[in-house]
Structure 1
């Protein structure tokens, strides 16, 4: 097991060794405090002040060194610029090469500084978490609150790169001018994305993104999917090719097609479920159970599909397609059989075919790291398009005829269309999908030397460096000193790399911050399901909307997903912290739900549409930011195995959908006139709880 104290020694630049956080000293201090503190209020105040002052000293040492290095970079760039100006203006390839190498050398040193920042930022986070866990105090909350918002904040200098952007800009601009095109007047300011593709600049940009958690649109969509990144206890296969390695693109497309079709299958019945229930002699509000039965089965299917994906991807996708084919056939035949039981069994069977755990796992394990964010964005986009396409398709299936006593009408067409869609998909899957080789787990290998590790599905050839903060162990005399003490911290040897083996063990790994994020995910899914599943009944009762109108309304709601993600991923997330966006989105969702209540004698279409739009858009923004934060605060032990973070979030969301659909059906027995207001009460109560919980853990979302 590789502990952070050892990694800190192994990964640091030797000549900078005196400027790194003294993690070993601070860890010893925490241990000493634990042995000497008597628990009195005065003792606690002294402890807080002493440890805060010690951490202040460490951060100031780090920050002063960062600023000094930035000054040295600026001096070196200025010196090279002066030398260039002193030369004749005639283009000389040899001189250009000399200066190009000079700027690249500065870039290489800048990369070392970014790794220095990253390593120290990790050390600061870990020592604060260790303090919190050892004493049960909210030291992190106290420290971040008092330091991060101060006008002379030094901790911000560590967690947000200051001045480095100017250095990167100077290097980029000068390297562009030294390209082999002397007659060109291209500038990074004219074409910033296409002018320069220098390897050292690209490496610097990646390092900066790592330090600052900068979120581009592609990254935002990928985080929305909660596709887990490389696990530090897995060993990469064919790491020589890494990001350029071949992967089966057609298989990836088929995996995304499964995601799209499943979302279509989920929402294609929403506009007609109430009519179908009435035609079988049930109440219109039974539509909640009809829609939610698929989610009930998904609670169980998520677990066995997650476990199955440890061994294969092809087999669970085949099983999923067959199950969904027969489930939709049963859903369609329920009309002629006049059986609500057959209809519900068909939907349950569809839920048992939910392979979203496999879809996520395939992207996480089998797509090269360089392409993984794009594939993750594709996953989110496929889900969003399926969500919009399903209701829209239902609106056009306005037919009514029979084939050999089998009814083909508005109620049964969604089942028949999806059954044949899954049959066609099954044929394509059988012909074109390629099962990738399995990844090799670290614990299954004999002991290796100094290695760093990643994730892939190729054949093992060599082990390469993938993550600076998970570096190889330095073999020195300090390895066996007091830093080897085993405690109950998150770095403890017996727990640091083993995946959770059950839902219970996974739950024990959840910190208060993670629990709050899962509560928020539950809340937003509950609110969205109440809105979508009751839309047909509500709009028919109040506005007498037709099936086609309901379908169009739901489709337009679904189509807001991609432009909203573009706005948040490209602009809003670059202007505000994720935790700020999270809190504002929750508050907007609260007001969207509040505005949905019918408190007057007349309930207008305008009020319903505006409130639905605010609720849906707020929930979509909240989902992306929530899952992004969840991926950052979740234990590394939940990055792989059957009971991983993706499964936990899926289960939380699925339980929310089930609860919402059961609520709709249960409240429906009070009468359709009470359905709107009464179903909104649990939504607004859960939303209020999540807002309060976010305030309580706000400073830990850093």
Structure 2
């Protein structure tokens, strides 16, 4: 398998080769520092000072070259502008208009090359900081970012957030639109500043805009929403035509639709029982707080099924989806039959079966492996939207099932109907899946591993990539061997094969982000899972009222992501939004406590809304940071980053549901505070951990 470093070297612009960060030199320096410290020839203070000076020199070289190239582009634009101004009269030859448009596009293509140059250097900077931290105890990035990135004359910011590129892009967009208006409006001048709707799409400009957004980490609603899926996106220039053709062969719209439908139904299945789980437990002779175990048993089984289905999707997608649907069909039937059998055991077994049928790992893998790069963000956003809608529709559907009748020997009431309805839904889905799902070609041949070896080159590389600049005299074989012989910090681009190997790739910053993900899922589960018990005890809410409340919480997901993705994430840094969201989750939990004053609906609903919405905001930025910091070896394969985040979130739900059940032994009057205490402790711990690693989140 070809190392990813070769792809990066091939992507370099040869005439600019000497202007890139000299990653190989710096890597050797780091290795030398380690050896010198081990024999006592150097101390850490001198190492930090020496390496900082070297890194400053490298960044200064990049920035000065960047400014020089921008000046050349500005000079070319000035020359073209003189010809442009002569075309304001409609009688001028339109051939000159076409000629000027092409001149502007040529500048645009060179600007795109410059953006890629900056992007690759940004990748190299992140990587060398990560490597240094791994060798020297995770202290250098914190020191370097604090002293350099936060300085008013920071050159580091010029690499990661350069506004000059945006200025050149603005000139190109304005003038190309003017030339098109000159053609189409027959001399009636319309400026894009006066009429933004008259701005015309252009392939070159669109490519530049996407690259600038990626470089500056700016987002749109679609991008921000898609990040919730934690499907790592490609960040380097577009893949080769052969790879694009291969992707197109594997893509089938109906199969993607079935994949998203599976996601939607599973989330409906998860939350449709939440409003009635406490009453169902009571009807079977158990305590109302046993609803925690009833709800959590599904998540408990999902911990194991996620690994199994992720491994199975190495060979097939259709078969695991079929088996998943069958298991969910059986699980829901058992859940519904538990009422007539008067068995809490059957109830729990039914929910365990539902958890064993979780195919969310397959859903993620299908989007990551089979959807073309240009559609992957939309598909990721569809995955998240389907999950959010399912989360809202589950309780809403439960509110409509308020009836009581019998069919033959089977009782149909608000407790059993969720099981029967979902069983019918999975039966219909199973038939649709059997008829319409198309297995991707490489799965049909049973050769996915070979496919992954070929395509793993185009995975997300924002953090962990191979050297950018190598000695020109060295052969590629020597370079690859050097990368493979490294002590593990330089990773060959191949998936890991065990959970232990995956864990070893996690830096402290990544571990903190996974802990934050655990925290937010724990807080959300506490709010959702105990809602029926809490509202019944304090406010005597009916099942319909609880269901409507939960549905309204679920419906906040998309609007919140619109606001954060389109506005907040473009105004503040992700780490700032991350920390602020954690603090808001903590505030929401504190406001939820029942202390001395009577507990009111306003206090409960307000605090739950603050906690839930803040956790939603936190999830987007948390997964975005994770995708940038996590090793690229965790982008594909069975033990991928998506699986790790799923396991962390699922474990959080299991622990939260178990906490609810155990707290039930203290009595319903103490349930609220007893469950909020561990949630608050975890929340405060995540804030402390974030502050500790804050400067490494750059």
TM-score w.r.t. the length of structure 2 is: 0.93
CA distance in 1, matches of 2:356, 2:2: 40
**Structure 1 position 690, deviation (Å):** 0.6
SS state at 2:406 partner: strand
Query: Kindly tell me: are residues 306 and 7 of structure 1, through their superposed partners in 2, closer, same or farther at Cα, counting changes over 3 Å?
Result: closer
Query: Kindly tell me: are residues 661 and 534 of structure 1, through their superposed partners in 2, closer, same or farther at Cα, counting changes over 3 Å?
Result: same
CA distance in 2, matches of 1:619, 1:452: 32
CA distance in 2, matches of 1:685, 1:274: 26
Residue aligning to 1:166: 167
SS state at 1:200 partner: helix
8 Å Cα contact 2:442-2:448 kept in structure 1: no
Note the 1:270-669 alignment, pairs <5 A: 270-438=274-442, 444=450, 453-454=457-458, 476-479=472-475, 485=482, 488=486, 492=490, 495-669=491-665
**Structure 1 position 23, deviation (Å):** 2.0
8 Å Cα contact 2:297-2:352 kept in structure 1: yes
8 Å Cα contact 1:231-1:636 kept in structure 2: no
CA distance in 1, matches of 2:262, 2:453: 39
Query: Kindly tell me: are residues 519 and 67 of structure 1, through their superposed partners in 2, closer, same or farther at Cα, counting changes over 3 Å?
Result: same
8 Å Cα contact 1:529-1:660 kept in structure 2: yes
Number of corresponding residues: 688
CA distance in 2, matches of 1:121, 1:339: 60
Residue aligning to 2:155: 154
Structure 1 runs not aligned, ≥5 long: 457-466
CA distance in 2, matches of 1:44, 1:482: 31
Query: Kindly tell me: are residues 245 and 66 of structure 1, through their superposed partners in 2, closer, same or farther at Cα, counting changes over 3 Å?
Result: farther
8 Å Cα contact 1:263-1:383 kept in structure 2: yes
CA distance in 2, matches of 1:699, 1:475: 32
Of the three residues 651, 669, 672, the one matched with 1:673 is: 669
Of the three residues 171, 184, 187, the one matched with 1:181 is: 184
Residue aligning to 2:224: 220
- Verify: 1:33 aligned to 2:33, yes or no: yes
**Structure 1 position 202, deviation (Å):** 1.6
Cα displacement string for residues 88-134 of structure 1 (whole angstroms, at most 9, x for unaligned residues): 72231211122112111111111111111112112212222222222
Residue aligning to 1:459: none
SS state at 2:321 partner: helix
8 Å Cα contact 2:19-2:65 kept in structure 1: yes
Cα displacement string for residues 394-418 of structure 1 (whole angstroms, at most 9, x for unaligned residues): 1111111111121111111111111
Query: Kindly tell me: are residues 470 and 215 of structure 1, through their superposed partners in 2, closer, same or farther at Cα, counting changes over 3 Å?
Result: farther
Single out whichever of 398-407 and 91-100 deviates more from structure 2. Answer: 91-100
CA distance in 2, matches of 1:339, 1:195: 65
CA distance in 1, matches of 2:652, 2:523: 9
Query: Kindly tell me: are residues 426 and 7 of structure 1, through their superposed partners in 2, closer, same or farther at Cα, counting changes over 3 Å?
Result: closer
Cα displacement string for residues 518-571 of structure 1 (whole angstroms, at most 9, x for unaligned residues): 101111111111111100000000011111111111111111011001111111
8 Å Cα contact 1:330-1:345 kept in structure 2: yes
CA distance in 2, matches of 1:280, 1:336: 10
CA distance in 2, matches of 1:231, 1:550: 43
8 Å Cα contact 1:236-1:454 kept in structure 2: no
TM-score w.r.t. the length of structure 1 is: 0.92
Residue aligning to 1:138: 139
Of the three residues 669, 687, 694, the one matched with 1:698 is: 694
CA distance in 2, matches of 1:68, 1:186: 33
Query: Kindly tell me: are residues 401 and 446 of structure 1, through their superposed partners in 2, closer, same or farther at Cα, counting changes over 3 Å?
Result: closer
SS state at 2:394 partner: helix
CA distance in 2, matches of 1:187, 1:452: 44
Residue aligning to 1:120: 121
